[in-house]
């Protein structure tokens, strides 16, 4: 049980972090001048080429764990959030395809323009809808399946995620992606291009902080249960405060060129944000119009949990050394050794 | 006409699966061609093999990604379209999916090494990562097919008063159908991909473009395909006997066999008329069906009329699909034999243009047979989503308007297919333009 939960938490964190940085790279490219786009395109290929597939497998693991170990919880998600999840999916599809096309097409000609646009736009749209989905989970507009019959199509399938709070969450996550990517890429480009990414990182930081602030304030004043409890909870509020304070050493390390420190700090910030978001109500991390639902609602038998836990451990034992070696071989963590 | 929600959901599932199967098979089998060519490069240092390896590697990368994204799509769709099914089946057959996730992860890591490892990591280790890509790909395929086999042969739980109790995920994974289905599908993947890849290269030889390279490519691909094609009937026989025992209604639909009979005849071809329950214009082989299904010329084979009308699949569709699969399968066995004879005859047939034309024409046949086979197993199981446990109509999402989701998918996948085909054509053109890589 704990193994399964730990894997669920780790995959969520890694997906938000790694795929976030991945999406962010595309978002940055979308908001760059022409020459900077070319630099970005090259860097993304060098840095993320070998690992980007691995980054996105975390979401498959996430989904598989949810549906095996927490089927009731998963069931509510896929019903109410059908539409944004479909859109996330389309985004992931287009993005993956565009990524391959723009780097593997045998000829580099005008068709590259199309691939680049596909890549950039889907890089922005996907995290927004992902954030919308997450916002939907916590905004308290999901209608419990047992009561679906008394509500209209729009109430059940649209307003559960299409509301101001969820949209703000979506934008917040997209900004977070750009933030992660810019900080990550600072360490990967040569010295002449560093200022570009430092500038991007500062814009992204401002966006993240202000969107985060707006989202929370909005949630507080409109009485979104999740936010109200969140602000009243000592653990989550202190985690958010720590995450905010970390911005200062983060910027100090960026300015002084300590790449690894800045990456660790940025990662920690995400950790604290996720921690803050889940700790208040855990395990009741789904909010419907009629109250919250526990992830342990109608649990699966212990035998299923055990088998899943064991297969995850075996899988992890196979994957993690390989992944580590992959990163090492391609000198992504050369800086750690320095 | 407004399409029913369930029909839209089924069509969407079928449509996305049709594509995923092609992408996944190629992504799973091509690494084997690639490592053979790579090995030949290491052994002979003939730059043609290096060129070939590098261009196949691009193909692997493209199909791996399209396979991966269409697979991600399916992992979402299972829940989005069939929430009731996943709610109950998730805990039971989740295990192959979680293991598949792990195998897939290993594949992604190994592919990262392989694609970006040229001249950066030791040669032998680099080659070995290619082997890992292939093996983990096949493992993924087997695991997913096992999950599908469970839908045909549900096991590993007790079904009491509509509740799934005493769940045993290991038993569900090793359900009675997993081995026959996984074997049949793995061989099919090798046959279909081998003939498709070999066929494309054969066409290039036929057109006299970069002949030396394309001949080498053809031989590697077709050798795998021919062996798999020749072994496939044995595996098909195992599958047929398995279906005869556990899903007699599916077997009856495959053969358009309406009346229970001892010493049942085998129908080849024919047009099915479900109203009059007749099969017109068929070739009839007496007692053959009884023999193929049970190994006894006089065994009793249950007919469709033994089953309630609302528990029968669409007979005509299953029958035609089955005939297509078997017919094309036999054709490919012959083609495989032709290839080995040609090889044995010291290359003389390799100089006849018609030989190359023949194999070019065979390129799509393996995949047509493979898709037909999936129609047999999936349509043949209807109206059940879990055989004799849960009906498909009870599993579908209550959300209305799935038909719009279907249209979106059709549009996106059609564009994807055109794009991938175009990309492949460019790869081949590029290959013919540059001749060889620097060693």
Q: How far is A78 from chain B (nearest CA, A)?
A: 5
- Cβ contact, residue pair A322, B83, below 8 Å: no
> Which two three-digit tokens encode residue B91?
């805990």
pLDDT of residue B34: 92
CB contacts of A53 in chain B (<8 Å) are: 64-65, 68, 108, 111-112
CB contacts of A312 in chain B (<8 Å) are: 98, 102
> Which two three-digit tokens encode residue A87?
């859109």
The Cα angle at residue B434 between residues B428 and B436, in degrees rounded to 5: 100
- Cβ contact, residue pair B90, A319, below 8 Å: no
pLDDT of residue B196: 92
> Which two three-digit tokens encode residue B29?
């089998």
Give the chain B residue nearest A79 (alpha carbons).
B80
Task: Categorize the per-residue pLDDT at B192 as very low, low, confident or very high, splitting at 50, 70 and 90.
Answer: very high
Q: How many residue contacts between A and B have a Cβ separation below 8 Å?
A: 197
The pLDDT > 70 percentage for chain B reads 97
Q: Which site among B90, B135, B416 would you substitute to test the A interface, given the most A Cβ atoms closer than 10 Å to its Cβ?
A: B90
Q: Which site among B27, B59, B69, B128 would you substitute to test the A interface, given the most A Cβ atoms closer than 10 Å to its Cβ?
A: B69
pLDDT of residue B31: 93
Mean pLDDT of B227-254: 86
pLDDT of residue A53: 63
- Cβ contact, residue pair B97, A59, below 8 Å: no
CB contacts of A90 in chain B (<8 Å) are: 408, 412
Per-residue pLDDT tens digits for B352-363: 888 888 888 888
pLDDT of residue A305: 75
Give the chain B residue nearest A149 (alpha carbons).
B398
d(CA A269, CA A17): 10
Give the chain A residue nearest B66 (alpha carbons).
A97
- Cβ contact, residue pair A69, B94, below 8 Å: yes
CA distances from residue A192 to A188, A261, B262, B384 in whole angstroms, order as listed: 12, 21, 84, 63
Q: Which site among A76, A106, A306 would you substitute to test the B interface, given the most B Cβ atoms closer than 10 Å to its Cβ?
A: A106
In which element (H, E) is residue B206 found?
helix B178-206
Q: How far is A225 from chain B (nearest CA, A)?
A: 27
DSSP tag of B265: P
pLDDT of residue B32: 94
> Which two three-digit tokens encode residue A301?
């038998």
Q: How far is B64 from chain A (nearest CA, A)?
A: 10
pLDDT of residue A256: 72
- Cβ contact, residue pair B412, A93, below 8 Å: yes
- Cβ contact, residue pair A82, B397, below 8 Å: yes
- Cβ contact, residue pair B79, A63, below 8 Å: yes
Contact by Cβ (8 Å): B46, B40: yes
User: CA-based Rg of chain A, rounded to a whole angstrom?
Assistant: 20
| Sign of the CA dihedral running B21, B27, B32, B33 | positive
Q: Which site among A7, A51, A85, A89 would you substitute to test the B interface, given the most B Cβ atoms closer than 10 Å to its Cβ?
A: A89
d(CA B354, CA B335): 13
CB contacts of A69 in chain B (<8 Å) are: 91, 94
- Cβ contact, residue pair A90, B408, below 8 Å: yes
The pLDDT > 90 percentage for chain B reads 10
Distance of CA B210 to the CA centre of its chain: 31
Query: Any chain A CB within 8 A of the CB of B429?
Result: yes
Quick one: angle between helices A82-104 and A111-139, nearest 10? Answer: 150
| Exposure class string for A40-52: b at 16+ Cβ within 10 A, else e | bbebbeebbbbbb
Query: Any chain A CB within 8 A of the CB of B407?
Result: no
Per-residue pLDDT tens digits for B114-140: 887 787 788 888 899 899 999 999 998
pLDDT of residue B1: 44
Who among A75, A77, A319 is closest to B102 (CB)? A319
CB contacts of B397 in chain A (<8 Å) are: 78-79, 82
Give the chain B residue nearest A306 (alpha carbons).
B169
Q: Which site among B73, B94, B118, B437 would you substitute to test the A interface, given the most A Cβ atoms closer than 10 Å to its Cβ?
A: B94
Who among A57, A78, A316 is closest to B108 (CB)? A57
Residue A189, number of CB atoms within 10 A of its CB: 18
Query: Any chain A CB within 8 A of the CB of B19?
Result: no
| B 44-63 near A (Cβ less than 8 A) | 58, 61-62
d(CA A197, CA A28): 9
Q: Cβ contacts of residue A263 below 8 Å, gap of 6+?
A: A183, A184, A187
Query: Any chain A CB within 8 A of the CB of B110?
Result: yes
pLDDT of residue A146: 66
Bigger pLDDT: B142 or A314? B142
Give the chain A residue nearest B62 (alpha carbons).
A100
User: Hey, which of A52-56, B147-151, B281-285, B420-424 has the most confident mean pLDDT?
Assistant: B147-151
- Cβ contact, residue pair B98, A78, below 8 Å: no
CB contacts of B412 in chain A (<8 Å) are: 90, 93-94
Q: Note down pLDDT in tens along chain A; length 338 residues.
A: 677 777 777 777 877 777 777 777 777 777 777 667 777 777 676 666 656 666 677 777 788 888 777 777 777 777 777 888 888 888 888 887 787 777 777 666 767 777 778 888 888 888 888 888 887 777 666 666 666 666 666 666 666 767 777 788 788 788 888 888 777 777 666 677 777 777 777 787 878 777 777 777 777 777 666 666 777 777 777 777 787 777 777 777 777 767 677 777 777 777 777 777 776 666 666 666 566 666 666 667 777 777 777 777 777 777 777 777 766 665 544 444 33
Residue B324 has pLDDT above 60, yes or no: yes
Give the chain B residue nearest A54 (alpha carbons).
B108
Residue B36 has pLDDT above 90, yes or no: yes
Alpha helices in chain A (DSSP H): 2-14, 20-30, 34-48, 52-69, 71-80, 82-104, 111-139, 153, 164-186, 194-221, 225-232, 234-245, 247-255, 259-279, 302-329, 334-337
- Cβ contact, residue pair B112, A51, below 8 Å: yes
Return the SS3 of B284: strand
| B 118-147 near A (Cβ less than 8 A) | 120-121
Mean pLDDT of B60-83: 81
CB contacts of A64 in chain B (<8 Å) are: 75, 94, 97-98, 101
Task: Categorize the per-residue pLDDT at B29 as very low, low, confident or very high, splitting at 50, 70 and 90.
Answer: very high
Query: Any chain A CB within 8 A of the CB of B287?
Result: no
Who among A72, A156, A308 is closest to B94 (CB)? A308
> Which two three-digit tokens encode residue B261?
């009979």
In which element (H, E) is residue B261 found?
strand B261-262
């Amino acid at each position: 049980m704990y193994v399964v939960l730990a894997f669920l938490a780790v995959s969520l964190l890694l997906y938000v972090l790694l795929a976030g940085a991945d999406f962010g790279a595309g978002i940055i490219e979308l908001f760059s001048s022409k020459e900077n786009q070319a630099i970005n395109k090259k860097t993304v290929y060098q840095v993320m080429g070998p690992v980007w597939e691995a980054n996105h497998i975390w979401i498959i693991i996430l989904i598989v764990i949810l549906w095996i170990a927490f089927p009731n919880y998963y069931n509510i998600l896929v019903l109410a959030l059908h539409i944004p999840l479909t859109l996330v999916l389309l985004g992931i599809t287009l993005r993956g395809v565009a990524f391959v096309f723009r780097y593997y097409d045998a000829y580099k000609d005008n068709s590259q323009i199309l691939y680049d646009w596909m890549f950039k736009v889907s890089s922005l749209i996907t995290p927004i809808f992902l954030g919308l989905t997450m916002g939907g989970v916590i905004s308290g507009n999901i209608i419990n399946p047992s009561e679906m019959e008394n509500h209209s199509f729009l109430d059940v399938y649209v307003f559960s995620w299409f509301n101001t709070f969820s949209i703000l969450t979506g934008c917040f996550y997209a900004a977070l992606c750009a933030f992660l990517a810019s900080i990550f890429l600072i360490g990967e480009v040569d010295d002449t291009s560093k200022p570009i990414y430092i500038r991007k990182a500062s814009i992204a930081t401002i966006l993240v902080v202000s969107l985060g602030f707006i989202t929370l304030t909005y949630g507080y004043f409109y009485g979104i249960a999740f936010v109200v409890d969140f602000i009243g909870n000592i653990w989550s509020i202190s985690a958010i405060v720590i995450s905010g304070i970390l911005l200062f050493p983060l910027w100090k390390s960026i300015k002084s060129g300590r790449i690894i420190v800045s990456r660790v700090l940025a990662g920690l910030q995400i950790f604290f944000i996720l921690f803050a978001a889940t700790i208040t109500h855990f395990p009741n991390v789904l909010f419907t119009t009629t109250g919250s639902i526990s992830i342990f609602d109608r649990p699966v038998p212990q035998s299923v949990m055990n088998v899943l836990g064991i297969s995850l451990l075996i899988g992890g034992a196979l994957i993690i050394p390989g992944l580590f070696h992959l990163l090492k071989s391609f000198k992504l963590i050369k800086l750690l050794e320095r | 006409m407004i399409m029913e929600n369930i029909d839209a959901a089924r069509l969407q599932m079928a449509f996305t699966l049709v594509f995923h199967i092609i992408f996944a098979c190629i992504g799973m089998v091509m690494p084997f061609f690639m490592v053979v060519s790579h090995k030949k490069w290491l052994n002979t240092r003939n730059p043609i093999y290096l060129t070939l390896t590098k261009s196949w590697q691009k193909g692997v990368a493209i199909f791996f990604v399209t396979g991966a994204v269409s697979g991600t799509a399916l992992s979402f769709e299972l829940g989005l379209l069939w929430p009731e099914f996943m709610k109950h089946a998730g805990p039971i057959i989740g295990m192959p999916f979680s293991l598949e996730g792990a195998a897939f992860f290993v594949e992604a890591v190994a592919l990262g090494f392989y694609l970006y490892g040229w001249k950066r990591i030791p040669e032998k280790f680099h080659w070995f990562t290619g082997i890992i890509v292939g093996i983990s790909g096949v493992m993924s395929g087997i695991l997913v097919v096992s999950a599908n086999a469970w839908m045909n042969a549900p096991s590993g739980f007790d079904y009491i008063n509509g509740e799934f109790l005493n769940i045993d995920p290991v038993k569900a994974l090793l359900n009675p159908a997993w081995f026959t289905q996984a074997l049949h599908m793995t061989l099919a993947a090798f046959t279909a991909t081998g003939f498709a890849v070999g066929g494309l290269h054969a066409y290039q030889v036929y057109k006299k473009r970069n002949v030396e390279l394309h001949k080498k490519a053809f031989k590697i691909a077709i050798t795998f395909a021919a062996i798999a094609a020749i072994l496939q009937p044995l595996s098909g026989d195992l599958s047929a006997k398995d279906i005869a025992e556990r899903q007699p209604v599916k077997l009856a639909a495959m053969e358009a066999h309406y009346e229970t009979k001892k010493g049942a005849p085998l129908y080849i071809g024919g047009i099915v008329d479900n109203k009059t329950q007749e099969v017109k214009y068929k070739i009839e082989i007496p007692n053959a069906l009884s023999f193929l299904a049970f190994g006894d010329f006089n065994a009793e084979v249950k007919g469709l009329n033994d089953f309630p009308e609302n528990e029968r699949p669409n007979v005509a569709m299953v029958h035609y699909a089955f005939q297509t699969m078997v017919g094309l399968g036999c054709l490919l066995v012959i083609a495989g034999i032709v290839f080995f004879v040609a090889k044995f005859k010291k290359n003389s047939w390799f100089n006849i243009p018609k030989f190359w034309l023949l194999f070019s024409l065979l390129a799509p046949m393996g995949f047509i047979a493979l898709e037909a086979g999936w129609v047999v197993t999936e349509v043949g199981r209807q109206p059940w989503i879990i055989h004799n446990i849960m009906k498909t109509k009870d599993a579908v999402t209550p959300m209305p308007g799935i038909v719009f989701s279907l249209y979106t998918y059709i549009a996106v996948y059609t564009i994807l297919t055109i794009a991938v085909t175009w990309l492949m054509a460019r790869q081949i053109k590029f290959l013919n333009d540059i001749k060889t890589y620097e060693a």
